[in-house]
Amino acid sequence: MPLQLLLFIDERSSSQEHIQRIKSYLKALKDDYPFELQMINVGEQPHLAEHFRLVATPALVKITPLPRQTIAGTNLVAQLEQSWPHWVESAQQESLEEETDSSSANNESVTYSTELIRLSDEIFHLKQENQELNEQIRFKDQVLAMLAHDLRNPLTAASIALETLELTDQNPDPQRVEKIKKQIFKQAQTQFRIMNRMITDILQTARGKNAELQIHPQKLNLQTLGDEILEQFEETFARKSLCVKKDLPQDVPDAHADQELIRQVWVNLLDNAVKYTPDEGTIKVSILHRTSQKIQVTVCDDGPGIPPEQREQIFEGHVRLKRDEAKEGYGLGLSLCRQVVRAHYGQIWVDSDANRGSCFHFTLPVY
């Protein structure tokens, strides 16, 4: 019965000389007693190191004959020198016993141990995959349940608006009716837009975070779009008594972008600015012709700002600052913004001074 050995190695340059010494020592031992050696790179199969509870490399594990034994550390050759005669002795002993049993356990045990390694490798990968899938499912369930629940709010608001519209027909004052109708249409439009945005979020989430985003870029006047969006936000700003400063100069060239998706990015940033800025705060919206090929859109607020270590993370999706957990949201908005901006070959980032507000910027190509 040959000894079965596993040699765990790593790729650190400092280990190479050491590994070489062990290998040549083992080579010399081949004439002393037959053994089978399998080399395992711990970088590629870390779970095997875990399986054999290794704390250092290089390490040599004798898997048969049992009991399993591990030697590791810088004086591995010296340890092997000591252990080798005992290992050989137990292998010889086992061989004798097997002969009397006339069994084929030897071959079986070789196949068995290689199979064991292959299976534990497979199990490790399956476990990992399973964990990732479970996380994805849990996240999707959570987001879908929250969004479905939240969709009821704008839906109720829109249906109340329509019911009120029905009642205004009974009002004898035509001027008043006209005014109410205008307000109601506006309200219904805003609510439908909110629902539309939520549905886009749901679809995007369902597609998964790695899905490619399809864009349809066209000539886009950002000044007109900005004005349109700010008008849409008028009531929202007024509700929190926010002061809004805009700088949307006419001489900024058109962008080459997907109007509806960029509207969504801009609206998301403004939604956040409103959400995270206290009453009577200030929001600034501007566009800037940054270089000959780029236009920059900026939304600033004087809310709590973003700590430096989280300025990248907040664009990653599912990330919400602990501080803001009590506020409504799913931590999806900014990751969708980044997906859209990147699909336009643009960049999105945040500047922020602690406790002094945040400025979100994104760039788009010039038409």
Residues that bind ligand ADP (CB under 6 A): 272-273, 276, 301, 303-304, 306, 314, 319-321, 324, 329-335, 358
Nearer to ligand ADP, 177 or 321 (CB): 321
Residue nearest to ligand ADP as judged by C-beta position:
329
> Smallest gap, in angstroms, from Cβ of residue 198 to ligand ADP?
11
Chain centroid to CA 136: 10
Structure tokens at 350: 């945040």
Nearer to ligand ADP, 35 or 276 (CB): 276
Phi, psi of 364 (to 5 degrees): -135, 155
Prior bond of 65 cis (ω within 30°): yes
Nearer to ligand ADP, 47 or 318 (CB): 318
> Smallest gap, in angstroms, from Cβ of residue 260 to ligand ADP?
18
> Smallest gap, in angstroms, from Cβ of residue 238 to ligand ADP?
19
Helix, strand, coil: what percent of the chain each, to 5? Answer: 55, 20, 25
Nearer to ligand ADP, 160 or 321 (CB): 321
> Smallest gap, in angstroms, from Cβ of residue 192 to ligand ADP?
20
Nearer to ligand ADP, 115 or 312 (CB): 312
Nearer to ligand ADP, 51 or 275 (CB): 275
What separation in angstroms does the CA of 46 have from each of 52, 263, 298, 340, 367?
10, 47, 46, 37, 50
> Smallest gap, in angstroms, from Cβ of residue 225 to ligand ADP?
20
Q: Are 294 and 364 in contact (CB under 8 A)?
A: yes
Nearer to ligand ADP, 65 or 317 (CB): 317
Prior bond of 154 cis (ω within 30°): no
Chain centroid to CA 322: 17
Nearer to ligand ADP, 94 or 301 (CB): 301
Rounded Cα distance, 180 and 313, in Å: 44
Amino acid at 345: Y
Structure tokens at 258: 């997907």
Prior bond of 307 cis (ω within 30°): no
> Smallest gap, in angstroms, from Cβ of residue 301 to ligand ADP?
5
> Smallest gap, in angstroms, from Cβ of residue 202 to ligand ADP?
14
Structure tokens at 322: 């602990």
> Smallest gap, in angstroms, from Cβ of residue 351 to ligand ADP?
11
Report which of 132, 131, 125 is spatially closest to residue 47, judged by C-alpha positions: 125
Rounded Cα distance, 195 and 265, in Å: 15
What residue has token string 């479970």?
A: 134
